[in-house]
Amino acid sequence: MTLFLQLGFQGIALGLVYGLIALGFVIMFKGSHTFNFAHGQFVAIGAYVVLVLLPRMPYVLAFIGAVAITVGLALVVERLLIRGLIGRSVTVVVLATLGISTMLHNAVLMVWGVGSHDSVGPVGAGTTKVGSVVLPNSALATVAVSVVVLAAVAWFFQRTRHGLALRATASSQEAALAQGIDVGRMFALSWALAAFLAVTASIFLASFPRVVSPSIGDLALIAIPAIVIGGMDSLMGAVVGGLVVGLTQVLGSNYLSDIGGGRLHEVLPYVLMLLVLLVRPYGLFGSRSIERV
Amino acid sequence: MSRDASPASDGPPALRTTGVSAGYGAAGTAVTDLSLRVPQGQVVSLLGPNGAGKTTVMRAVSGLLGLHRGRLTGGRVELFGKDVTGARASQRVRAGLAQCLEGRMVFPGLSVAENLASGGHVRRYRGGALTEARDEVLTLLPRLGDLLDRKAGYLSGGEQQMLAIARALMSRPKLLLMDEPSLGLAPRIVEQVRDIIVSINEAGTSILLVEQNARMALSISGYAYLLEGGRVYAEGTPEALEQDNDIAAAYLGAGTAPVTPRGADS
Amino acid sequence: MLKKPLTAVAVASLMTLAACGNSAGSGDSGTGADGVAMGPGVTDDEISVTVISDFSGPIAQGGIAGSLGVEAKIDQVNREQGGICGRKVVVDKRDTKYDPQITTQQYRAAAPKNLMVAQFVGTAGLNAVRANIERDKMPTLSASINTQTLDLPNVYVAMPPFEVELINGLTWAAKEAGASASKKVKVGFVTSADETGKVYLDALNHAAKATEGLEVVAQPTYTNADTDFTAQVNSLKDAGAEIVMLGVTPAQIAGIIGQSAQFGYKPTFVSSSGAWASSLGKPLKGLLDKYYVSGGYGTLNDDNAGIQALTKARKAYAPDAKPDNFEVGGWINGTVVVEALRKACEAKDLTREGVMKAMTGLKVSFDDILPPIDLGDGNSIVSFQSRINKIGADGVQEPVAEFFESEAAKSWDAARRK
């Protein structure tokens, strides 16, 4: 039982990180109809910027700095490379974001090299014991911050004027424009929000004992099955999908280790993704677009 | 054929287009050298067959051409005397323009209340101001008051049209563009919509109304333009247009259904 | 995951285009002015050899450092001795991104232009081109130092393989723990859930059986997608393993050692040399006092003639490069290449057959970086020597004992060859 709780907690912590990344994907997808394959590189860049800033300033400032820089980069990419492609075929946009991903990845390699670096989590290696369950402080911080950030994002979408405008834009660009909503600004806002989530995820993806390395960008792409499982256009689904993937990985690495030569848990998120696609192509929480009656 | 008499007005017109031409890329020009005015406080109708360019005119006025890969190739658009030819859609809304798009285009996944709130986007209503504006709008369209928590996608067609109108009113517009508000609605609902348009106008909002239902439109308009092939074919007061036998026969028909016009695909 | 195959396809298709018109042959280019028979990549002025490695993918850190070792050695020979056989030796570097598909394309493009593969990184990639290597008669030095690659035709492993490192590491740790008939010591093994992992596991189990007083209590596996090692660590901890052998890569080390510490579990960890990267010293600071690396060759910190020569050559060739121990492995392969080419030159045969003939029975001394080796028939383990290192400041390895060889390693080799 202890082990189950232990694994479950780690799975939830990891799943929430995936959820933050998946949420970014979904927000961009809804906001600008772009499936941004370069999102994983925003996660990587966020981690590297925190790494660079940390020795020079307090943690919070380093985080804010990384958010500012990554958001800035996302805005430049969106405005210069993606905005002009809006309305073009999905293939064109996907190829463009794949190209951007490769560019950013190589930029990371050029600036920071191929090696691994330190961890950049907000807390160190310490642990907190609850009964017989050992909770790493890094995982506790992951859960606490993720929950706060997710709640803040939900509040933003449900309760603020810009949140509503983003949802309106996601629903219909033409109708949003007709209400005087600056759709271009909404595209930018959705990318900025996704970049903020990417940096938040990155500090936990590189929390002790995980470290900053170029593979973080690829690691972040595990969010893709999470999105498909949850539903491409569902904010809630992104988080649930992330949790499903995180729990599958961690619980599976224990309980499924005797099946399939110990590799089953590696492919299980993708198996689940395919199953969901077969049964509910719009994901667990996605909407069959509601047509007018 | 067009009449010389221009509608009377006080101050600058709510809308004036001068020699506007617009088109969609390779598809060529959809509207040519179009000049029209909506005097303040009036209802002006834009009539004509399918493909005559009515919606293109609306888009040229509201700034939505770009979204449809269209472009203004000439002319000038003024709202209340202010040149908005190159302005973005959001700037035009801030200048007092609102519109009900063809097909209603409510946000289906958002609740009625959220749809209404989105209509007030440019007004930046805070706290009680939003509820206040909403209550004001709901006095005109009281039925929506019971549906506030309903997802707009689940409303009936008539309710969606009411919502589209209410949403447009949330920004307290001075000029309202309405594109085919009666399309696809039952006659009883068309009557309601007509009454609402009259009430909105009586409250002081100028209206540019695009309608295929010419009878309904003319019955509440002070002036009308007849479009054909992207050009103004005729204009005048409803009475004058109805007196012209050719026009009456070709465009105004009898009853509420429009007669199939000549050159419907021009 | 989705990105990789797509990128791979794109890159692969580009390279297929580029490779058109080249035929990957092993045909001789004729005889040089000096009467030396010349194979592909050899002219009167040049001998071209290729390094096929990961320069920008997941194990690029090791791949680049390993290549640097080869390059530094060859640069040294070019500078100090004017090359080999009156010819300058050039290194043709090919980036595989650790992807077998890209590796195949890169090998095909490199083969017609090079005499030999001075260093090949990646077991999966090597397996992907094994048929080409056999057909091209391409002498290939593998940096994936395991017996899987050693067994491939025309592939040489010039260092003790990882299996030998692991076996020696386990016998050393058992002795340190005082394992004996009367004192049982529990051990656990962590390996990857794939073919390579199985071979490591086989070697470790052999060593455990051959060593008195060892009891294997847990054998958790991992996959490359794992970033959380709660399951693996807890299975070791719950089984009470006092010694944990890590047949892993640097990508897993921090997770396993870090999470063990978090769960209050502090066994003796021993890994092969391929599992440690010096950059891990920082995040794992303070957690490494019971972690040891069993290495088949020395470290950059050693004070001997071989390492001094390497350090000097690297400073001359790439003064800004960060020191990394994989350089030493590259230097060893570079040294073998140089010795083989020299011997082939003496026999006036710089063809691939000539190089392979030269490699047979080639004895190479590395000036104490590791004890001298004999390449033998090319399919035998060249040395059973290992040395145990601990991790010092900045993550560099520091020896805690001299080179030694275990009976278990030899008996395992005898058993596996049956």
How far apart CA C178 and CA C199 sit, in angstroms, is 27
- The mean per-residue pLDDT over the stretch A78-102 comes to 87
How far apart CA C24 and CA C42 sit, in angstroms, is 15
How far apart CA A217 and CA C81 sit, in angstroms, is 45
Asked if A180 and B106 come within 8 Å (Cβ–Cβ), the reply is no
Local structure of C372: helix, strand or coil: coil
Asked if A116 and C225 come within 8 Å (Cβ–Cβ), the reply is no
Q: Which chains touch C (3 or more CB pairs under 8 A)?
A: A
> Does the pLDDT at position A144 exceed 80?
yes
Please give the pLDDT value at position C251. 87
Tokens, residue B253: 């028909």
Say if residue C172 is in the same domain as residue C249.
Answer: yes
How far apart CA A115 and CA B193 sit, in angstroms, is 68
Say if residue C145 is in the same domain as residue C212.
Answer: no
Fold classification of B1-96+174-266 (topology level):
Rossmann fold (3.40.50)
How far apart CA C163 and CA C203 sit, in angstroms, is 6
Q: Is residue C12 part of a domain?
A: no
* A286, A233 Cβ separation under 8 angstroms: yes
Q: Confirm or reject contact between B64 and chain A (CB < 8 A).
A: yes
Q: What is the DSSP string of A245-281?
A: HHHHHHHHHHHTTTSGGGTHHHHHHHHHHHHHHHH-T
How far apart CA C299 and CA C327 sit, in angstroms, is 9
* Residue C128 belongs to domain spanning: 28-159+302-374
Please give the pLDDT value at position B246. 77
Q: What is the DSSP letter of B123?
A: G
Q: Is residue C23 part of a domain?
A: no
Please give the pLDDT value at position C29. 61
Asked if B64 and A167 come within 8 Å (Cβ–Cβ), the reply is no
For C128, other C-beta atoms within 10 Å of its C-beta total 18
Q: What's this model's pTM, rounded to 2 decimal places?
A: 0.85
Q: Is residue C379 part of a domain?
A: no
Q: Confirm or reject contact between A182 and chain B (CB < 8 A).
A: yes
> Does the pLDDT at position B261 exceed 70?
no
| ipTM of this predicted structure | 0.87
- The mean per-residue pLDDT over the stretch A62-71 comes to 97
Asked if B122 and A178 come within 8 Å (Cβ–Cβ), the reply is no
Would you kindly state where each structural domain of chain B is located, as residue ranges? 1-96+174-266, 106-172
Please give the pLDDT value at position C387. 94
Going through C124-229 in order, the beta strands assigned E by DSSP cover 140-142, 155-156, 185-192, 214-218, 221-222
Identify the CA nearest to A136 among candidates C172, C263, B147. C263
User: Distances from the Cα of B28 to the Cαs of B24, B48, B49, B67, B71, in angstroms?
Assistant: 6, 19, 18, 17, 10
Structural domain total, chain A = 1
Please give the pLDDT value at position A10. 94
Chain A positions touching C284 (Cβ under 8 A) are 209
Please give the pLDDT value at position B253. 60
Q: Is residue A245 part of a domain?
A: no
Q: Which of residues 168-207 of C touch A (CB under 8 A)?
A: 193-194
How far apart CA C120 and CA C63 sit, in angstroms, is 9
How far apart CA B172 and CA B132 sit, in angstroms, is 12
Chain A positions touching C63 (Cβ under 8 A) are 114
Minimum-distance CB partner of C277 among A98, A115, A266: A115
The residue with greater pLDDT, C105 or B248, is C105
Local structure of A36: helix, strand or coil: coil
**B245 to chain A nearest CA, in Å?**
38
Mutation site for B-interface testing, chosen from A33, A86, A171, A179 by largest number of B Cβ within 10 Å = A179
Say if residue C166 is in the same domain as residue C274.
Answer: yes
Say if residue C277 is in the same domain as residue C166.
Answer: yes
Q: Which residues contact C230 (CB under 8 A, 6 or more apart)?
A: A6, A7, A10, A250, A253, A254, C259, C263
Q: Which chains touch B (3 or more CB pairs under 8 A)?
A: A
C84: β partners:
C87
Please give the pLDDT value at position C3. 40
C89: enclosing H helix or E strand: strand C88-95
Say if residue C202 is in the same domain as residue C338.
Answer: no
pLDDT per position in chain C (418 positions), as tens? 334 444 444 444 444 444 433 443 444 568 888 889 999 999 999 999 999 999 988 788 889 999 999 999 999 999 999 999 999 999 999 999 888 999 999 999 999 999 999 999 988 899 999 999 999 999 999 988 888 888 889 999 999 999 999 999 999 999 999 999 999 999 999 999 988 899 999 999 999 999 999 999 999 999 988 989 999 999 999 999 999 999 998 889 999 999 999 999 999 999 999 899 888 999 999 999 999 999 999 988 888 999 999 999 999 999 988 888 889 999 999 999 999 999 999 999 999 999 999 999 999 999 989 888 999 888 889 999 999 999 998 888 899 989 999 999 999 999 988 7
CATH code of residue C341 = 3.40.50.2300
The 10 Å CB-count burial string (b at 16+, else e) for C353-376 is: ebbbbbbeebebebebbbbebebe
Q: Confirm or reject contact between C232 and chain A (CB < 8 A).
A: yes
C–B touching, 3+ CB–CB pairs within 8 Å: no
Structural domain total, chain C = 2
| Candidate from A217-221, B22-26, B62-66, C18-22 with smallest mean pLDDT | C18-22
For B157, which residue in chain A has the nearest alpha carbon? A293
Please give the pLDDT value at position B256. 42
* Residue A34 belongs to domain spanning: 11-123+131-218
Identify the CA nearest to A74 among candidates A233, A190, A183. A190
For A132, which residue in chain C has the nearest alpha carbon? C263
Q: Is residue A199 part of a domain?
A: yes
Q: Is residue A40 part of a domain?
A: yes
Say if residue C34 is in the same domain as residue C145.
Answer: yes
Minimum-distance CB partner of A10 among C230, C235, C250: C230
Chain C positions touching A135 (Cβ under 8 A) are none
Please give the pLDDT value at position A14. 95
* Percent of chain A scoring above 70 in pLDDT: 98
Interface contacts A/B by beta carbons within 8 Å: 92
pLDDT digits (tens, 9 = 90+) for B53-104: 999 999 999 999 988 888 899 999 999 999 999 899 999 999 999 999 998 9
Interface contacts A/C by beta carbons within 8 Å: 132
Please give the pLDDT value at position B8. 47
Q: Is residue A27 part of a domain?
A: yes
Say if residue C356 is in the same domain as residue C278.
Answer: no
Local structure of B237: helix, strand or coil: coil
Chain A positions touching C238 (Cβ under 8 A) are 3
- The mean per-residue pLDDT over the stretch A113-121 comes to 88
Instruction: Please provide the average confidence, as pLDDT, over all residues in chain B.
Output: 87
Q: Which residues contact B204 (CB under 8 A, 6 or more apart)?
A: B41, B174
Q: Which residues contact C333 (CB under 8 A, 6 or more apart)?
A: C66, C69, C70, C118, C119, C141, C143, C158
How far apart CA C104 and CA C121 sit, in angstroms, is 12
Please give the pLDDT value at position A235. 87
> Can the peptide bond before residue A209 be classed as cis, meaning omega within 30 degrees of 0?
yes
Please give the pLDDT value at position C8. 44
Q: Is residue A106 part of a domain?
A: yes
Q: Which of residues 159-178 of B touch A (CB under 8 A)?
A: 160, 167-168, 171
**A16 to chain C nearest CA, in Å?**
14
